[in-house]
A = this chain, B = another copy of it.
Amino acid sequence: MKDNKIPDIVIGRLPLYLRSLQRMAQEGRKVTSSQELGERLGISAAQIRKDLSQFGEFGKQGTGYQIDYLTKQLSQILHVDRVWDMAVVGAGDVGHAVANYQGFVDRGFQITMIFDKDPSKIGAQFGDFTIIDGSEMVETIRSSGVKVAMVAVPAETAQQVADELVEAGVEAILNYAPIRLNVPGNVRVQHIDPAIHLQRMTYYIE
C-alpha cells in the first residue's frame, strides 16, 4: 500500500478526508461521494478522486464511497489503525491545554508522558499525569519506544528540546513553539502556527 513516491502534499490531504468521513459516520451516514467531500473541504472532487486513486480503488463510478470501508483504508494508510503513545514536553499553558485536549479520541493518539525541566513542576500532578524530570527525557522516551512528541516549550528552548527528542528516537514532532525546528531528514516536524490560519482568512475580509 505504501509508496514513497506519493507527494507529501497528497499525504497531507488524507487526514482531512479521514476527519470528514469520521464525522459523517458520527452523523449516521453510510455512503459519500468525492463531490460531497469536496464541498465540505473546499477541495475539488477531481482532486480527491485523484488523491485516493493513488492508493487503490475505493469506490465505484456512480455509487460513491462506503464511509466505513474508506475510513478503515485511510486509517491503515496513515498508520492510525493503532494508538500511538505521545510525549508532551513542557508543562506550561500549552502543555496543559494539550494534555486536556479531547480531540485525540479515535484518531490514533494518546498522551502517555509529560516532561518539564522546572524543579518546581517536576513530580507535580498535571491532569492525570505526574510531571517527569526533563533531564530524564531522552532515556525515558528511548526505553519506552515513543515515536511521537509535542513540543510545548518557549521558542528559546524549543530547538534544544527537538535535538533531545531526535536523540531519543522520536520520528514525529508537533511543534507549538513559534520557531522553525531543524531536524534530520528521517524526522518529521509539523508546526501549529495560528497566524498561518488567520492569514488564510483575512484575505477574504474586505
Main SS class of interface, A: mixed
Residues of B within 8 A of A196 (CB): 15-16, 19
Question: Which has the most chain B C-beta neighbours within 10 Å: A100, A174, A194?
Answer: A194
Which one of B171, B192, B204 lies within 8 Å of A171 (CB-CB)?
B204
- In the bound assembly, the distance between CA atoms of A140 and B78 in angstroms comes to 44
Binds B, one of A91-99, A115-123, A130-138: A91-99
Binds B, one of A6-14, A29-37, A56-64, A159-167: A6-14
Which one of B15, B19, B200 lies within 8 Å of A15 (CB-CB)?
B200
- In the bound assembly, the distance between CA atoms of A150 and B97 in angstroms comes to 15
Cβ-closest chain B residue relative to A197:
B190
Cβ-closest chain B residue relative to A109:
B198
**Interchain CB contact under 8 A, A102 and B155:** yes
**A157 to nearest B CB, angstroms?**
13
Q: Is A184 engaged at the interface, CB distance under 8 Å to the other chain?
A: no
Cβ-closest chain B residue relative to A204:
B188
- In the bound assembly, the distance between CA atoms of A172 and B16 in angstroms comes to 20
Residues of B within 8 A of A197 (CB): 15, 174, 190, 192
27 A-B pairs within 8 Å (CB atoms) are namely A14-B200, A14-B203, A15-B199, A19-B193, A19-B196, A77-B203, A78-B200, A80-B199, A93-B100, A96-B96, A102-B155, A103-B194, A104-B195, A108-B199, A108-B202, A109-B195, A109-B198, A148-B201, A148-B205, A150-B194, A171-B204, A174-B198, A174-B201, A190-B197, A190-B198, A190-B201, A192-B197
